[in-house]
Chain A
Amino acid sequence: MTTRVGVEVSIAIADAVKLSNADVVAAYPITPQTHIVEHLAELVANGELDAEYIPVESEHSAMSACVGAAAAGARTFTATAGQGLELMHEVLYIPSAMQLPMVMAVANRALSSPLSVWGDHSDLMAVRDTGWIQIVVENGQQAVDNVICGFRIAEDKRVLLPVMVHLDGFYLTHVIEPITFPEQIDVDKFLPPNSYPFPLNPDKPVAMGDFGPPFIYTEAKWMQEVNLRASRKVILECWNKFGKAFGRQYLPVEKYHSDGASVLLLTMGCFSETAMVAIDELKAKGNDIGQIRLRLWRPFPFEELRQAVKDADVLIVLDRAISFGGPGGVVASEVKAALYEQDKKPKVVSFVAGLGGRDITVSGFKEIIQRGIEIARTGSENEYEIYGVRE
């Protein structure tokens, strides 16, 4: 019997880490992620989770400790947000290149300055090229499920990569949602013990993170790229197995009334659910509109995206971060790149909105959609539109 309980999403994530039977948690508290690691500290202190909890002095140290833990073959978890993720930045490249599996929950938060503890996707986009698998969730249930899936994907011997599970800070971390927790026995069946092939062992010495002179660096990076791209197959396999075992199916590109719709709205993260209400209301009035959501940000789901949008005329893309002086919306920019060579493709219209905790309401999404359709028809001199800024 699975149990469905009302619980704060941060607490639920910590409980998912406990269900996953993590061995090491090294973390530093930062808003809006703090409740996750606070609750994990409680679980370890109470003896409910048999793990090493390493309270470190910074996120740089948190990630460094996680690298060491994963190298020793431990099931490793951490969580951070915003500035914390940026302080980790240098170390983020290490576990991906060294193929050390771990899971990190990122409570997405805007970057300073001006100081903002509120949510957007600036931190998510800043770590785009660190070589991690990046999964984006829209609600607490998805966060719980994908923490468990994250360990299975990360530790799969065909993958061996670190996984970020992105959930929107405050919008998800601090709300109470009904969560269905899987039973321990079922998680144990779904998630085999971590058996990292080269755990640190004095009797079998290896050198990790070694020197890479010019004669080998290109080969090392290409191996990393091939490996990250190939992880897609294992991610899909994991989500299918999870769907069969627990009845909740995840896809790299999620669809909502999108098949056959001439206008599509592409979103990422929890604002997607608000956007669905706008889609419902517009559809009820006879508008030909649907939605797609990117669940998998890295590796980028090129094929699934192309298939999902191939019959649409207009694709409106919402970004919650700015690539300054560049294309504006990073998601829109990548979507355009993915579609450029296609013979038949929708007109892509890029919007930036929802920065630093600014809400986008249902009526806001309707305005964005209407303005997007207008721009698709008339064209625009701008790379992108920013929605909701006061002139």
Chain B
Amino acid sequence: MAKSESEITWKDLEVGCIVAEPGSARQYETGAWRSQRPTYDFTKCIKCGICQLYCPEGCIEPNQDGYFEANMFYCKGCGICARECWPRVITMVEEEE
């Protein structure tokens, strides 16, 4: 999909709305659904990775320092990571905008 969402017309759609380009779901910004975002206090983090295991979106990866962090392009703000993080690293806060 070279065009952005708002630029696609009905004439751009493939036969039967088939998606012929593999992996194009990666371009879908599920992060736009979010009403809360995770914040981190990495001083408490023991790098156990339980947040990554439980993330239903599969969008949590270790950052360059090895701490687990959500990719905000995909994070829907469900808060499951904050609930499962037993050292209490993660706190959900309201999205301001």
Known interface pairs A220-B10, A223-B13; A208-B22 also in contact (CB < 8 Å): no
Q: Which of B1-54 contact A (CB under 8 A)?
A: 5-6, 8-20, 22, 24-25
Among the 9-residue stretches A95-103, A111-119, A167-175, A275-283, the one with 4 or more Cβ atoms under 8 Å from chain B is A95-103
Question: Once the chains bind, are B8 and A99 in contact (CB under 8 Å)?
Answer: no
Minimal beta-carbon separation of A61 from chain B (angstroms): 21
A219 touches B19 (CB 8 A): no
Considering residues B6, B16, B20, which has the most beta carbons from chain A within 10 angstroms of its beta carbon?
A: B16
Decide: B17 and A212 in contact? CB cutoff 8 A: yes
**Which of A198, A216, A219, A222 makes the CB contact (< 8 A) with B18?**
A198
Shortest C-beta distance, A229 to chain B (Å), equals 13
Say whether A223 contacts B5, CB under 8 Å. Answer: no
The answer to whether A185 has its CB under 8 Å from any CB of chain B is: no
Q: Are B13 and A198 in contact (CB under 8 A)?
A: no
CA distance A160 to B25 in the complex (A): 25
Q: How far is the CA of A209 from the CA of B18 in the complex (A)?
A: 7
Closest to A212 in B: B17
- Bound together, the chains give a CA A220 to CA B8 distance in angstroms of 11
Given known contacts A198-B20, A205-B22, A206-B20, A219 and B15 CB-to-CB distance under 8 angstroms: no
Q: Are A99 and B16 in contact (CB under 8 A)?
A: yes
Contact status B10-A226, CB under 8 Å: yes
**Interface residue A391 (Cβ < 8 Å from any Cβ of B):** no
Q: Are A206 and B10 in contact, CB atoms less than 8 angstroms apart? A: no
Note all chain B residues with C-beta closer than 8 A to A226.
10
Once the chains are docked, how many angstroms separate the CA of A206 from the CA of B24? 10
Q: In the docked arrangement, what's the CA distance between A198 and B20, Å?
A: 8
With contacts A219-B13, A220-B13 taken as known, whether A206 is within 8 angstroms of B8 at the C-beta atoms is no
A160, B14: Cα distance in complex, Å: 12
Q: How far does the alpha carbon of A198 sit from the alpha carbon of B15 in the complex, in Å?
A: 8
For the complex formed, measure the closest distance between the CB of A252 and the CB atoms of chain B, giving whole angstroms.
25
Q: Which residue of the partner chain, among B8, B10, B11, B16, contacts A160 with CB atoms under 8 Å?
A: B16
Complex Cα distance, B8 from A219, in Å, reads: 8
Report A-chain residues with C-beta under 8 Å of the C-beta of B8. 215-216, 219
Interface contact tally, CB-CB below 8 A: 55
A326 CB-CB contact with B under 8 Å? no
Q: How far is the CB of B5 from chain A (nearest CB, A)?
A: 4
Q: Is A129 an interface residue (CB 8 A)?
A: no
In contact, B15 and A216 (Cβ under 8 angstroms) = no
Contact in complex: B17, A97 (CB < 8 Å): yes
The reply to whether B15 and A197 contact each other, CB–CB distance below 8 Å, is yes
CB contacts (< 8 Å) of A208 on chain B: these are: 16, 18-19
- A207 an interface residue at 8 Å Cβ cutoff? yes
Alpha-carbon distance A99/B18, docked complex (angstroms): 9
Q: Is the CB of A97 within 8 A of B13?
A: no
The yes or no answer to A57 lying at the interface (CB within 8 A) is no
Task: Name the interface residues of A239-292: CB closer than 8 Å to any CB of B.
Answer: none
B24 and chain A: residue at smallest CB distance:
A207
Contact A100 B16 (CB under 8 A): yes
Give the distance to chain A from B79, nearest Cβ to Cβ, in Å.
23
- Residue in contact with A210 in the complex, picked from B6, B10, B17, CB distance below 8 Å: B17
B4 CB, min distance to chain A CBs, angstroms: 10
Q: Are A223 and B18 in contact (CB under 8 A)?
A: no
Q: Mark A175-214, 1 if CB is under 8 A from B, else 0.
A: 0000000000000000000000110000001111110100
Name the B residues within 8 Å of A97 (CB-CB): 16-17
- Listed in ascending order, the chain B residues whose CB lies under 8 Å from chain A are 5-6, 8-20, 22, 24-25
The 9 closest A-B pairs by CB, nearest first: A99-B16, A207-B19, A219-B10, A98-B16, A223-B10, A215-B5, A222-B10, A206-B20, A220-B17
